[in-house]
Structure 1
Amino acid sequence: MPSGLGHLFLARDARRRRASSWDRSGRNADFVRVEPGQTATLADISGTGSIRHIWITIAQDEPDYLRRLVFRAYWDGETTPSVETPIGDFFGVGHARVSNFWSAPLNMVTGGGAQAGNRAAMNCFFPMPFAKSARLNLENQGSQPVRSLYYYVDYEEYGALPENALRFHAQWRRSNPTPSSVDLGDGKQDFAKTNELVNLDGKGNYVILEAAGRGHYVGCVLSVDHLNPIPNFGWFGEGDDMIYIDGEEMPSLVGTGTEDYFCAAWGYPGGHNSMPYHGISLAGPTEGPAPYSGKWTMYRFHIEDPVMFARSIRVTIEHGHANVHASDYSSVAYWYQAEPHAPFPALPPVEARLPVPDRESSRRFWKTF
């Protein structure tokens, strides 16, 4: 089942299908309403195939609705989801914000004009194969209705999947605040001193993914609200990525800093940027009186360099060098693996998912900066 620009000239044995919110009366009310506590089914597919594209846009007046609405996907009759994440984070931007960005598998296209508010068209192009069935839904865990949910789920039908076809997974996590290895508010720390700290085992790292089975990790979206800077040094990076494969005690893959894992360097001097496999989908200030404060989201997709595992994988990253920062970290990990997958940690309740208010974020940044 080859696809992509390099295979467009090849004939394919598949049939294109779509589940969407189109108005069955033929009028123009091409949306569904989702009441508080209600779950809307986006697609309930029987047979063999692969989802190839998801498009969603939402009109909801509740603040932070992108963290209140939960997206789930189930493959082949499973009872626990293979995808479970707040809807906004899944599509590449955290903190319940929208931001115009593009990448190979995910993008957001923000609306224009005052009426658009915090709204965007959100697209996903990760292939999501299934052998018997696929079920996608969106749960409204907010206190106000979703007035308009528009969606497409574009998929292909096949006679059979390859025997080595893995299933798509995505999982949201958060640590707010991340546990700091030092007290940056004691008046004794500076950048030079924190650079002397040692972290070889990664035990205090932020965990992006823990999975058991056979598969490959294909990337993440990482969101940071920088609440706890080193005095007189606003930069939140320098946290090394450490990836442990098949139960190893020391990581096979060790990086050199947060910005380096996300394919940048020397901080994020350009701020917001979009590339096919890496970028900054949401950026705060890089200069001025409070550099690198506020809310950030960055992404790294291992499309050309997936990280394979035979038994297990643990993907982690330091929150600042040697985990010195006590900030708000959240993430979505994306991976493929053979089923069954290990049960996910319980998704935190709504109140534990909401972003830190901007005023509180600023207050906490200045407290140690």
Structure 2
Amino acid sequence: VTSENGTSETRLYYNIDYEVWDKPREDLGRFHACWRRENPTDGIVEPPEMDDGTYQHGGVNLSDEGNYLILEAEGAGQYVGCNLNIHALRTSKAEMHNWYGEGDEMIFIDDDNEGQRWPPTLHGTGTEDYFNTAWGPEEKFSSPFFGLTMPGAYNWSGFISWYRWHLADPVRFSKSIRVSIEHGHANRRSDDFSSTAYWYQLEPHKPFGLLPMLQRLPRADHPPLEPPQK
């Protein structure tokens, strides 16, 4: 555990549950977690004359090349799920429909990753659908396997946070897995995305790093939008 808080004391509490074995078992997957961030995602430039419908729903995406990457792992294991956090940054035309969703999740498993076979084994139909909701949810809720703990402010601005656990519907892989999601339909939007992916796998695992501290801090700009005064 490393503390990068240079201004105040850091206190940490933990406990560990464990079992004692005569020797290590080679057939048990180890738990892994990986935090990522893309700030902002690489969306399109929104011309002033573009209507909102074209911006939100135009374009076609037939690969995950420009998607936000949640997980990329090699080996054999099981994808458990993720937290996905979005800081909605769009301010132009924000008085119009400012929904951040409609980003398809794409899960490439094993042979899918050989030449990026299309479509992948699992290909969803939108951000809210992957998290088992629909119609642009605006209220927070929690259930055992999915939830929306931060629904955002007026017109889906500000901070949004989702979770989804694949416990009842396990996603297993034998050689590799790549989990990504579009940032808006066809990667149209440029928002601040971050996530933590959780999975089990046999060692060794593909190395993954961590962004420098300053690149992990929340943005101080782009506060939530205020509803128009009546």
TM (norm. structure 1) is 0.56
Check whether the contact 1:283–1:295 (CA below 8 A) recurs between aligned residues.
yes
What is the RMSD of the two structures over their aligned residues, measured on CA atoms?
2.0
Structure 2 partner of 1:341: 205
Is residue 192 of structure 2 the alignment partner of residue 328 of structure 1?
yes
**Residues 220 and 166 from structure 1, CA distance in 2 versus in 1: closer, same or farther, beyond 3 angstroms?**
same
Q: Distance in 2 between matches of 1:192 and 1:326?
A: 15
On the 8 A contact 1:206/1:317 being kept in 2, the answer is: yes
The answer to whether 1:139 aligns with 2:2 is yes
Tell me the SS of whatever aligns to 2:214: helix
**Amino acid aligned to 2:33:** A
Q: AA paired with 2:125?
A: T
More strand by share: 1
What is the deviation of 1:194? 4.0
| Cα distance in 2 between the residues matched to 1:216 and 1:156 | 22
SS in 1 for 2:135: coil
Q: Which of 355, 366, 369 is residue 218 of structure 2 equivalent to?
A: 355
Structure 2: which 5+ runs fail to align? none
Q: 1:341 to 1:192 in 2, by over 3 A?
A: same
- Whether 1:307 aligns to 2:176 is no
Residue 157 of structure 1 aligns with which residue?
Answer: 20
Q: Deviations over 1:154-195 (max 9, x none)?
A: 323344565531111100000000000x21253314124542
Measure the CA separation in 2 of the matches of 1:273 and 1:157: 39
Residue 235 of structure 1 aligns with an amino acid whose one-letter code is: W
* Runs of 4+ with >3 A deviation: 158-163
Q: Report the number of matched residues.
A: 219
Q: Is 192-201 or 158-167 further displaced after alignment? A: 158-167
Q: Distance in 1 between matches of 2:25 and 2:142?
A: 33
Distance 2:92 2:60 in 1: 16
- How far apart in 2 are the matches of 1:272 and 1:179? 27
Question: Is 1:201 matched up with 2:63?
Answer: yes
Pick one of 15, 25, 29 that aligns with 1:166: 29
Instruction: Report the alpha carbon displacement of residue 305 of structure 1 after superposing the two structures with TM.
Output: 1.4
Q: 1:141: how far off? A: 1.1
Give a deviation string over 1:109-144, Cα, whole Å, max 9, x none.
xxxxxxxxxxxxxxxxxxxxxxxxxxxxx2101212
Letter of the 1:361 partner, please give it. H
8 Å contact kept, 1:224–1:328: yes
Q: Which segments of 5 or more consecutive residues in structure 1 lack a partner in the other structure? A: 1-137
Matched-pair identity in % = 46
Distance 1:195 1:284 in 2: 21
1:275 to 121, 129, 143: 143
User: 1:169-318 alignment to 2 at 5 Å?
Assistant: 169-180=32-43, 182-192=44-54, 194-228=56-90, 231=93, 232-246=96-110, 247-248=113-114, 249=116, 250=118, 251-269=120-138, 271-285=139-153, 290-318=154-182
Q: What is the CA deviation profile of residues 40-98 of structure 1, one whole-angstrom value per residue up to 9, with x for unaligned ones?
A: xxxxxxxxxxxxxxxxxxxxxxxxxxxxxxxxxxxxxxxxxxxxxxxxxxxxxxxxxxx
User: Which AA in structure 2 matches 1:260?
Assistant: D
1:322, distance to aligned residue in structure 2 (A): 0.4
Residue 87 of structure 2 aligns with an amino acid whose one-letter code is D
TM-score between both structures, scaled by the size of structure 2: 0.88
Q: Return the structure number with greater relative CO, CA threshold 8 A, min gap 6.
A: 2
Tell me the SS of whatever aligns to 1:303.
Answer: coil
Distance in 2 between the 1:229 and 1:348 partners? 27
In structure 2, do the counterparts of structure 1 residues 230 and 211 end up closer, same or farther at CA, with 3 Å as the change threshold? farther
